[in-house]
Amino acid sequence: MSNPYFSNLGNFLYVNRTEDGRNEGDYSTVKNFFKRAKLRDDIFQDLTFFTKYTVIGDDRPDTVATRVYDDPSLDWVILLSNNVMNIQSEWPLGQAAFNTYITEKYPDETTLYSGIHHYEASEVKTNDGSIIIASGTRVSAGQSVSYFDEDSSQHVVRTNIASPITNYMHEQKLNDDKRNIFVLKPIYLNILFDDLEEIMANKKGSTQFISETLVRGDNIRLYD
Protein backbone atom coordinates (compact mmCIF):
# COMPACT_ATOMS: atom_id res chain seq x y z
CA MET A 1 0.00 0.00 0.00
CA SER A 2 3.01 2.28 0.41
CA ASN A 3 2.28 5.62 -1.21
CA PRO A 4 4.66 8.38 0.01
CA TYR A 5 3.27 11.85 -0.62
CA PHE A 6 6.23 13.19 -2.61
CA SER A 7 6.09 10.24 -5.00
CA ASN A 8 2.77 11.69 -6.17
CA LEU A 9 4.23 15.08 -7.01
CA GLY A 10 5.16 15.79 -10.59
CA ASN A 11 8.47 17.36 -11.58
CA PHE A 12 9.28 20.95 -12.45
CA LEU A 13 12.10 22.12 -14.72
CA TYR A 14 13.61 25.07 -12.90
CA VAL A 15 15.84 27.44 -14.82
CA ASN A 16 19.39 27.59 -13.45
CA ARG A 17 20.82 31.01 -12.66
CA THR A 18 24.14 32.34 -11.49
CA GLU A 19 24.53 34.04 -8.12
CA ASP A 20 23.92 37.44 -9.70
CA GLY A 21 20.63 36.21 -11.23
CA ARG A 22 21.82 35.64 -14.78
CA ASN A 23 20.29 32.84 -16.79
CA GLU A 24 22.64 29.90 -17.29
CA GLY A 25 20.51 28.55 -20.14
CA ASP A 26 19.72 25.10 -18.72
CA TYR A 27 17.33 23.58 -16.22
CA SER A 28 17.35 21.45 -13.09
CA THR A 29 14.57 18.97 -12.33
CA VAL A 30 12.93 19.51 -8.95
CA LYS A 31 9.67 18.38 -7.36
CA ASN A 32 6.70 20.61 -8.16
CA PHE A 33 5.81 21.96 -4.72
CA PHE A 34 3.44 24.49 -6.26
CA LYS A 35 0.74 21.81 -6.19
CA ARG A 36 -0.93 20.64 -3.00
CA ALA A 37 -3.27 17.71 -2.48
CA LYS A 38 -6.64 18.07 -0.79
CA LEU A 39 -9.56 15.84 0.00
CA ARG A 40 -12.62 16.20 -2.19
CA ASP A 41 -15.23 18.38 -0.50
CA ASP A 42 -17.83 15.62 -0.62
CA ILE A 43 -15.44 13.35 1.31
CA PHE A 44 -14.06 15.98 3.69
CA GLN A 45 -17.56 17.02 4.77
CA ASP A 46 -18.96 13.49 5.16
CA LEU A 47 -18.11 11.98 8.55
CA THR A 48 -19.04 8.48 7.38
CA PHE A 49 -15.67 8.37 5.58
CA PHE A 50 -13.80 8.93 8.84
CA THR A 51 -13.20 7.44 12.25
CA LYS A 52 -12.58 9.47 15.39
CA TYR A 53 -9.09 8.95 16.77
CA THR A 54 -7.24 10.18 19.86
CA VAL A 55 -3.53 10.90 19.52
CA ILE A 56 -1.74 9.35 22.51
CA GLY A 57 1.43 10.60 24.17
CA ASP A 58 4.24 11.37 21.74
CA ASP A 59 2.52 9.85 18.71
CA ARG A 60 3.51 11.44 15.40
CA PRO A 61 1.55 11.35 12.13
CA ASP A 62 3.69 8.44 10.91
CA THR A 63 3.06 6.37 14.05
CA VAL A 64 -0.69 7.04 13.75
CA ALA A 65 -0.52 5.99 10.07
CA THR A 66 1.24 2.79 11.12
CA ARG A 67 -1.52 1.94 13.58
CA VAL A 68 -4.37 2.82 11.22
CA TYR A 69 -2.98 1.79 7.82
CA ASP A 70 0.02 -0.37 8.80
CA ASP A 71 2.10 2.04 6.68
CA PRO A 72 4.09 4.99 8.11
CA SER A 73 4.50 6.52 4.63
CA LEU A 74 0.79 7.42 4.73
CA ASP A 75 1.40 10.06 7.40
CA TRP A 76 0.32 12.66 4.82
CA VAL A 77 -3.16 11.08 4.75
CA ILE A 78 -3.46 11.73 8.49
CA LEU A 79 -2.44 15.36 8.04
CA LEU A 80 -4.63 15.84 4.97
CA SER A 81 -7.67 14.37 6.71
CA ASN A 82 -7.35 17.02 9.42
CA ASN A 83 -6.28 19.90 7.19
CA VAL A 84 -3.02 20.24 9.11
CA MET A 85 -0.81 22.73 7.29
CA ASN A 86 1.79 23.38 10.00
CA ILE A 87 2.66 20.33 12.05
CA GLN A 88 4.68 22.44 14.52
CA SER A 89 1.62 24.39 15.67
CA GLU A 90 -1.33 22.16 14.71
CA TRP A 91 -0.20 18.73 15.96
CA PRO A 92 -0.31 17.90 19.70
CA LEU A 93 2.95 18.08 21.60
CA GLY A 94 4.26 15.18 23.65
CA GLN A 95 4.73 15.83 27.36
CA ALA A 96 8.43 16.71 27.18
CA ALA A 97 7.93 19.06 24.24
CA PHE A 98 4.87 20.58 25.95
CA ASN A 99 6.85 21.24 29.13
CA THR A 100 9.58 22.93 27.11
CA TYR A 101 7.01 25.02 25.23
CA ILE A 102 5.23 26.37 28.32
CA THR A 103 8.42 27.10 30.27
CA GLU A 104 9.77 29.09 27.31
CA LYS A 105 6.47 30.95 26.83
CA TYR A 106 5.86 31.90 30.46
CA PRO A 107 8.60 33.67 32.47
CA ASP A 108 8.05 31.95 35.82
CA GLU A 109 6.02 29.25 37.56
CA THR A 110 3.79 31.77 39.31
CA THR A 111 2.64 33.22 35.99
CA LEU A 112 2.20 29.75 34.54
CA TYR A 113 0.36 28.01 37.35
CA SER A 114 -1.33 30.92 39.16
CA GLY A 115 -1.78 33.51 36.44
CA ILE A 116 -5.40 33.70 35.26
CA HIS A 117 -5.87 33.41 31.52
CA HIS A 118 -9.68 33.71 31.58
CA TYR A 119 -12.80 32.58 33.43
CA GLU A 120 -15.28 29.88 32.42
CA ALA A 121 -18.83 29.27 33.59
CA SER A 122 -20.17 26.19 35.23
CA GLU A 123 -23.33 24.87 33.59
CA VAL A 124 -26.51 26.73 34.36
CA LYS A 125 -29.83 25.09 33.46
CA THR A 126 -33.48 25.26 34.35
CA ASN A 127 -35.39 22.66 36.32
CA ASP A 128 -36.60 21.06 33.09
CA GLY A 129 -33.03 20.71 31.82
CA SER A 130 -32.91 23.64 29.39
CA ILE A 131 -29.37 25.03 29.30
CA ILE A 132 -29.03 28.74 30.07
CA ILE A 133 -25.24 28.84 29.97
CA ALA A 134 -23.15 25.91 28.76
CA SER A 135 -20.25 24.65 30.82
CA GLY A 136 -16.95 26.12 29.63
CA THR A 137 -18.44 29.35 28.24
CA ARG A 138 -16.04 32.25 28.72
CA VAL A 139 -17.41 34.78 31.19
CA SER A 140 -16.20 37.64 33.36
CA ALA A 141 -14.86 37.23 36.89
CA GLY A 142 -17.74 37.25 39.37
CA GLN A 143 -20.27 36.59 36.60
CA SER A 144 -23.87 36.05 37.66
CA VAL A 145 -26.96 35.18 35.63
CA SER A 146 -30.66 35.60 36.16
CA TYR A 147 -33.52 33.90 34.37
CA PHE A 148 -37.17 32.96 34.76
CA ASP A 149 -37.67 29.26 35.37
CA GLU A 150 -41.01 28.35 33.82
CA ASP A 151 -41.05 24.93 35.46
CA SER A 152 -40.99 26.45 38.95
CA SER A 153 -42.49 29.82 37.90
CA GLN A 154 -39.69 31.59 39.76
CA HIS A 155 -37.12 34.22 38.93
CA VAL A 156 -33.75 32.62 39.59
CA VAL A 157 -30.42 34.35 40.22
CA ARG A 158 -27.20 32.34 40.08
CA THR A 159 -24.08 34.04 41.38
CA ASN A 160 -20.39 33.13 41.25
CA ILE A 161 -20.72 30.87 38.23
CA ALA A 162 -17.23 31.77 36.97
CA SER A 163 -14.18 29.58 37.62
CA PRO A 164 -10.62 30.77 36.95
CA ILE A 165 -8.63 29.06 34.19
CA THR A 166 -4.90 29.39 34.71
CA ASN A 167 -2.39 29.78 31.92
CA TYR A 168 -1.30 26.18 32.43
CA MET A 169 -4.90 24.89 32.27
CA HIS A 170 -5.48 26.91 29.10
CA GLU A 171 -2.35 25.63 27.36
CA GLN A 172 -3.07 22.05 28.43
CA LYS A 173 -6.59 22.19 26.98
CA LEU A 174 -5.36 23.68 23.69
CA ASN A 175 -2.87 20.84 23.35
CA ASP A 176 -5.35 18.15 24.39
CA ASP A 177 -7.95 19.42 21.91
CA LYS A 178 -5.45 18.80 19.11
CA ARG A 179 -5.39 15.12 20.11
CA ASN A 180 -8.94 14.64 18.86
CA ILE A 181 -8.60 13.97 15.15
CA PHE A 182 -10.30 12.09 12.34
CA VAL A 183 -8.70 9.38 10.23
CA LEU A 184 -9.85 8.35 6.78
CA LYS A 185 -11.14 4.78 6.89
CA PRO A 186 -8.72 2.39 5.11
CA ILE A 187 -11.40 1.22 2.67
CA TYR A 188 -11.47 4.70 1.13
CA LEU A 189 -7.73 5.06 0.55
CA ASN A 190 -7.92 4.04 -3.11
CA ILE A 191 -10.45 6.81 -3.76
CA LEU A 192 -7.98 9.30 -2.30
CA PHE A 193 -5.09 7.88 -4.33
CA ASP A 194 -7.09 8.10 -7.57
CA ASP A 195 -8.12 11.70 -6.81
CA LEU A 196 -4.54 12.60 -5.96
CA GLU A 197 -3.26 11.19 -9.25
CA GLU A 198 -5.80 13.29 -11.13
CA ILE A 199 -5.04 16.45 -9.14
CA MET A 200 -1.29 16.13 -9.59
CA ALA A 201 -1.44 15.41 -13.33
CA ASN A 202 -0.50 18.42 -15.48
CA LYS A 203 -3.07 19.51 -18.01
CA LYS A 204 -2.35 20.26 -21.66
CA GLY A 205 -2.79 23.80 -22.95
CA SER A 206 -0.15 25.61 -20.90
CA THR A 207 3.12 26.79 -22.47
CA GLN A 208 4.83 25.12 -19.51
CA PHE A 209 3.33 21.69 -20.25
CA ILE A 210 5.73 18.92 -21.22
CA SER A 211 3.91 15.85 -19.91
CA GLU A 212 1.43 14.87 -17.21
CA THR A 213 4.31 14.61 -14.75
CA LEU A 214 6.58 17.41 -15.97
CA VAL A 215 6.26 21.16 -16.51
CA ARG A 216 8.91 23.75 -17.31
CA GLY A 217 9.39 27.12 -15.64
CA ASP A 218 9.39 30.23 -17.80
CA ASN A 219 12.89 31.07 -18.94
CA ILE A 220 12.75 34.79 -18.24
CA ARG A 221 15.77 36.91 -19.16
CA LEU A 222 16.60 39.21 -16.28
CA TYR A 223 19.64 40.73 -17.96
CA ASP A 224 20.72 41.51 -21.52
Read off the pLDDT of residues 50-104 as tens digits, 9 standing for 90 and up: 999 999 999 999 999 999 999 999 999 999 899 898 999 999 999 999 999 999 9
- Do 77 and 65 meet the contact criterion of CB atoms below 8 Å apart? yes
Cα dihedral 136, 137, 142, 144 sign: negative
Which pLDDT belongs to residue 32? 46
Which pLDDT belongs to residue 48? 86
Which pLDDT belongs to residue 150? 86
Task: Tell me the C-alpha distance between 126 and 35, whole Å.
Answer: 53
Task: Tell me the C-alpha distance between 180 and 55, whole Å.
Answer: 7
Task: Tell me the C-alpha distance between 13 and 209, whole Å.
Answer: 10
Residues of the chain with confidence (pLDDT) below 50: 5-6, 21, 23-24, 32-34, 201, 207, 209-210, 212-215, 219-224
Which residue type sits at 221? Answer: R
Which pLDDT belongs to residue 94? 95
Distances (CA, A) of 110 to 29, 82, 113, 146, 168: 54, 35, 5, 35, 10
Domain coordinates in residue numbering, the chain: 5-92+178-216, 100-174
CB atoms within 10 A of CB 19: 5
Distances (CA, A) of 130 to 78, 127, 148, 159: 38, 7, 12, 18
Which pLDDT belongs to residue 30? 53
Which pLDDT belongs to residue 215? 45
Can you give the pTM of this predicted structure? Answer: 0.70
β-sheet bridge partners, residue 14: 28
